[in-house]
Structure 1
Amino acid sequence: MSDIAPDEVRIAAEIERLKADFPKTRELYREVCALLFFRFGVTPTANRLYQLVRRGSMGTPTAVLSEFWAELREKSRVRIEHADLPEELQGAAGELIGALWQRATASAQASLDALREEVEAARQEAEVAVTGLQSDLARTETALEQRTSALLAAQVRIQELEQAQAAAVATREALEGEVERLQQGNRERDTALAQARADFAAELEKQRASAELAETRLQAAEKRALLEIERERTSAARLQRDSEAAAKRAARAEESARAEIQSLQGQLGDLRHQAGVLEGRLEALRATHAAQAKELDAARGKLGSASAQAPARRAPRRAGRPAEAAAKPLRPARKTATKS
């Protein structure tokens, strides 16, 4: 970090203090010129003065700066007053001493600048050293953090390994118990297998005896089956003969049935013919009966009209007799039609 920013801060602070001490603008500008030139070694300019003070117009710092330089040149002159020296020598001696003073001031300023540069270089070297130390410190802190993290990870790993070891011990104990249980189970199975073999041998002997008995029974059953088969064959032959005789009888019955069916079919044809003839006659009789019914209805109509025209003095009984007498001849005609 350079010293420009601190100088600016100090200059601003001094100017604020001068503003409080010198309320007049020209006096304030003159004091700021002296402050910059003598205390901070900065050559004042009109723009710089106006930027720092910011009072009045731009002409004010220009005029004050001109007066400051004139006053400075006037004060830098050395007056040598001696009674024995002429005025020309007094002026030349004064100018010589002024030049020496200016050179001495310039040399002092150069020495001051060199000292400032050395101080600045030393400060920069110190800053570089501080930066290096800070980098070393950061690397050290990073390494410490890494080692701390590694230590924590190692502790966590140790805990995990301890837990894994405890789990392995528990697993080994469980496996040993399981092996012991399996060995006990194997011993029990061996005992059960020996017992099963003995039981199987006894059962096999029983099965052999049962098989021999079953073989004997099977032979007897085969003999009985052969006898049954022989009887069935005899029965089948007898049934075959009976079925052949029944087939012959059925054939003869079928022939007689066919002849009878043909005879019945002939009779059925004759009956159908007779039925057709009778149906024709029945239709003729129906037509005749219908015609006679129409004639009877017509006769009744005529008789009714004749009865209506008879004199009113006739009694109803006498009027009914001629109707009965007229209706009587029709009955024999109906009987005759029916007989025909």
Structure 2
Amino acid sequence: MRTNESLNLVEVDENGVATDFRADVLQGLSEPQKAIPARWFYDDIGSELFEDITQLPEYYPTRAETEILSSCGAEFRERIGEGRAVVEFGSGSSVKAPLLLDAIAPAAYVPLDIAGDFLRASAEALAAKFPTLPVHPVEADFMRKVELPEAVSHLPKLGFFPGSTIGNMVARTATDLLRTMRATLGEGSQLLIGMDLIKDPAVLEAAYDDAAGVTARFNCNLAARINRELGGTIPLDALRHVARWNDDYARIEMHLEATRDIAFQVAGRRFTMREGETIHTENSHKFSRRSSTLLLLAGGWTPARRWTDAEDRFSMILADATVPRSAP
């Protein structure tokens, strides 16, 4: 049994453009350091390109996380138990979710994603692998509280947030998202989250600037999306992909750098960039055991168990929704 849900749809204007996308782009391009939130990478083209990135030899996180999911199934089942509704934040990979679902025998699967076509395609593929599992795809912006389908309202929930997507956010935004996830999932819920670990900067930079140029195309697609959806005139041939390690913030940063002075319009507004000026498009924070624990606690989750791959490159953490304490 499978149902398609259209709850919590992203707000769009009369032209079908996400209003938050336009607002974020116009605001971000107006800042002294131009920046656009990484969540806007994931239109259908961006989602497909990211799936390609996960197969690259330089991009270790997917292999490391898949290793954990493949080797620790019995421990997941023991710690999580059977009969939960798995709510995946981001419709995700066709590899990771099945490994988890095989391990824990859930009662339902609810993928949430902002990219509707990609979400439905992923949900259909997974439903074919698990024909007896109720699958309820929900097109939604999970940065906000999501009302889950009525069919799973009575079930205990397990949030699933693989891929270290939490690392794309600065601490304040990451904390807000974790609190929003807790509100979406409810009391007594659990969260299984991926967090990438700090390691040799050369390994990190290669993972975000691959030799085949797939990550560069993924980054540049954001500018192409602005042109497609917001009437942009950004000269795509004047932008280049840049990935660099920022040790002060323990993060890889991705930028689109102007290779010459340019002027362009977006949604009727004019912008300029000087040669060497950048649009900051993504952060990918890397964590230590201490920093991951602090972030989860701040977001309303108490770490209960953590796993790493054999080379200690990547971690998966199971956390319980923190029970609020009453005031003394």
TM-score over 0.5 for the pair = no
TM-score (norm 2): 0.19
Identify the structure with the greater strand proportion. Answer: 2
Name which one, 1 or 2, has greater alpha-carbon Rg: 1
Q: Looking at both structures, which has the greater relative contact order when contacts are Cα pairs under 8 Å and sequence separation is at least 6?
A: 2
TM-score of the superposed pair, with normalisation by structure 1: 0.19
Task: Please identify which structure carries the higher helix content.
Answer: 1
